[in-house]
Structure 1
Amino acid sequence: MTHLIVGYPSVEVNRQMLEIMAEVGIDLIELQMPFSEPVADGPTFVRANQAAIAAGLRLDDYFELMERSVSAYPFPHLMMGYYNTAFLMGHGEFCRRLREVGASGFILPDLPIEEYGDLFALSADSDLSPIQLMTPTNSSQRLEAIGERVSGFAYAVARRGVTGGRTEFDSGTFEFVARCRSATDLPLALGFGLRCGDDLRQLRGRVEVGIVGSALLEAWERGGAEGYRHLLLDLAGGRY
């Protein structure tokens, strides 16, 4: 699963990114709605969030890009963002708008399951999957509670902290993956710190989805479209 922050470097560049992703053949994508305080994000994404907001990205711009991408490309699209967006829109309007543009689900990393309220029922009514995060600090009981409410797939966070820094896989990582696996029968995705095809090769047979975000944005910043395509091809080679 890939990731991009809508509005950074620009919506036009986002369209180029999506086209390259489609050419390479990604499995699914999360489109992030920029937020001023992205608490789960590392420095690369914090900077990108702030730049997109400063450039004047509007909520309508976000939904327009998602709708165009859903119409153009076959892979599922997830909204990624922070609860402030859903709160300000209202849960019903949030779900209605996502379904209207063709989203398959959403990820709100700062919203614990106990505070979802009617968002679970509304998302089910709109045929949206509210993706839940499982973290290394969760107890087994907590993982089971999350597993009972998870939909679509479970998002396992590979390490403590925020996005961006490289994750070195060790026995602790795979023990955590096994704990997540025991908490849900749904597909398991692993994210935070995956940066290359070799990382995905290490995950073969352990998880169904590897999530790559910061490394892709940094590849664009370093090498533009060709650098971006090169990394995506490397990642694609690591899937199988």
Structure 2
Amino acid sequence: MAFALKPSPSSSAAFGHSTMVVTVPRRFLVRALAAATAASSVDPPTGRQLVLTTPRVLAASVPVANERALSVAHTLSRIKEQGKTALIPYITAGDPDLATTADALRLLDACGADVIELGIPFSDPYADGPIIQASAARALAGGTTTDAVFSMLKEVTPELSCPVVLFSYLGPIVRQGVASFTAAVKEAGVKGLIVPDLPYAETYVIKHEASTKNLELVLLTTPTTPAERTKEIAQASQGFVYLVSANGVTGPRATVDPRVKERLEEIKQLTNKAVAVGFGISTPEHVRQIAEWGADAVIIGSAMVKHLGKAASPTEGLKKLEEYARSLKDALP
């Protein structure tokens, strides 16, 4: 099925831009976004009508530390040089409420988190297991919106000593438009972005927009990712390379798949970037083992979310979160 492209009367050759109205089936939406480089807008009711403004000359840029704190790559590089393994906790924004999320960010920073991953709640978090799915549902039911998350972050990130990476599915990004979304992420003081349902072949437009705003787009690789694609991801990922420890969704597991050790060795032969392991990690024993295998960072999500979101009260949740985060930090070299 072909895309329908129509030049706009407002096209301006003098500025090296052209405006096109693009009508595209929903299943081709990401590919349509990949055709744009500067801005896009999506008709919310249908998700079909796009207005794409595309510059003819693209400037490639590499994210660097901005005015508030070190970049994710620089942060993890310093920890790696010290022979240590970084702790990257994940929590869902708005669970149980945004005020508690703000307190949790400050608390995790004080507990020694080296980078914090914050999830934008989404109605169809298909890469996540029951714990984070329920967390996102609670946040949405409580009225959490993407704009509210950005507003909260603008207040909190200047207080943090560690960088924040935003975890968002493609849906919220498409609804707002890539340029607008990444600008809001930048303004909120966030340093990086993870989009778990963004196919590698479709990363260009988001990576370009992120790079122009000094945001690092972190890419994921899995135990079944082919060797050649793993090499491409390792080269293209910014901030760090996210190694998913097991096939399937997020959630605690009894043991860590021993194949992670082999995958770590393979990826480290391809890049000098930090490699972080996530999915299914929940105990001090897990993080200690992964650190011994050579991971530069360990990501813990579902267990963090469970401690915070299922407590009898926000105060109790923060207390449990602090105890748990400190136990993991103490287990790392």
Normalising by structure 2, we get a TM-score of 0.69
Measured after TM superposition, the shift of residue 182 of structure 1 is: 2.5
Structure 1 alignment gaps of length 5 or more:
none
Aligned to 2:188: 101
**Which is strand-richer, 1 or 2?**
2
Aligned to 1:13: 100
By percentage of residues, which structure has more helix?
Answer: 1
* Shift in alpha-carbon separation, 1:170–1:111, aligned structure 2, 3 A: closer
The CA deviation at 1:69 is: 2.1
185-194 or 166-175: bigger deviation: 166-175
Correspondence list, 1:74-113, <5 A: 74-113=161-200
Code of the aligned partner of 1:149: A
TM-score, normalised by the number of residues in structure 1: 0.95
Retained in 2: the 8 A contact 1:136–1:160? yes
Q: Is the 8 A contact 1:131 1:155 kept in 2?
A: yes
Structure with the greater alpha carbon radius of gyration: 2
Q: Determine helix, strand or coil for the equivalent of 1:88.
A: helix
Equivalent residues in 2 for 1:1-240, closer than 5 Å: 1-166=88-253, 168-205=255-292, 206-220=294-308, 221-222=310-311, 224-240=317-333
What do the CA deviations read for 1:123-176 (whole angstroms, capped 9, x no partner)?
Answer: 111111000001011010110121221111000000010111315235322112
Once the two structures are superposed, residues 3-48 of structure 1 have per-residue CA deviations (whole angstroms, 9 ceiling, x without a partner) of 1111111112212212321221210111111100001100001011
Aligned length: 240
In structure 2, runs of 5+ residues without a counterpart are 1-87
How big is the shift at 1:208?
A: 0.9
Greater Cα offset, 108-117 or 36-45: 108-117
Separation in structure 2 between the aligned mates of residue 70 and residue 149 of structure 1, nearest angstrom: 26
Identity of aligned residues (%): 27
C-alpha spacing 1:134/1:167, structure 2 compared with 1 (3 Å): farther
